[in-house]
Amino acid sequence: MMNKEKFIGMSPEERVQVVNKLLQNHDLKEISNLVKIPSSSFSKIMREGDYIYHKADKKYYPFIRSEEGRVKKSLSRDNDEIAFIERNVDTLKKVIKQFEEQGLLLLDKRIYSKDAKFINKSIRMNNDVYKQFTGFCEDFYPHLKTQDLIAQALIDAMIRYKPENEREQ
């Protein structure tokens, strides 16, 4: 897991990110035990950088002392997002153009799951259909493996051609 020195050496922002993630599966006492820091010291460390714990949300949030500070922080976040968009406008335009021209192909998560087991299968297939399919893959999805596109096509076919009375409602 994480040792006490590494935890204390993190910036307050990093610490809050790590702890908020751990809070999804643990409570504060468990987390303080994980990093081997007494819970009273843990709470004090977590308040560094003006963060407060919100019990109902089970999450740490930045504490803003005034309405003016809240507005500044919000504007700063907006400015960061605008700056990111301005820096990446050409890339974003390309992504949008590709989506408009080709659509969006999202692979089912089962295809790239870490737990997936793979087997080799030989199938007979019409040569012309296979050539068209591999050409399609190379032209439109060169970043994906042909085997993943075939797997997605099989999943799509199962969903599309499943009898009406067998489909999930």
The residue type of 118 is F
Element (H, E) at 155: helix 146-160
Residue 17: its pLDDT value, please? Answer: 92
Residue 131: its pLDDT value, please? Answer: 96
Query: Which of 1, 14, 4 minimizes the C-alpha distance to 38?
Result: 4
Write down the residue that tokens 């922080």 correspond to: 73
Residue 129: its pLDDT value, please? Answer: 96
CB-based contacts of 144, cutoff 8 Å, min separation 6: 105, 107, 137
Residue 73: its pLDDT value, please? Answer: 57
- Domain boundaries, given as residue ranges, for the chain: 4-62, 65-103, 105-166
Does the pTM of the predicted model rise above 0.75? no
Q: Average of pLDDT values for 56-74?
A: 73
CA distance 76 to 64: 13
Is residue 166 very low, low, confident or very high in pLDDT (cuts 50, 70, 90)? confident
167-to-8, 15, 159, 163 alpha-carbon distances in Å: 53, 46, 8, 7
Residue 5 backbone zone (phi > 0: left; psi -120 to 50: alpha; other: beta): alpha
Average pLDDT, the chain: 85
Token pair belonging to 84: 């990111």
The residue type of 149 is L
Is residue 7 very low, low, confident or very high in pLDDT (cuts 50, 70, 90)? confident
Q: What is the pLDDT of residues 79-121, one digit of tens each?
A: 778 888 888 899 889 888 877 777 777 889 999 888 989 999 9
Choice between 1 and 147, residue whose per-residue pLDDT is larger: 147
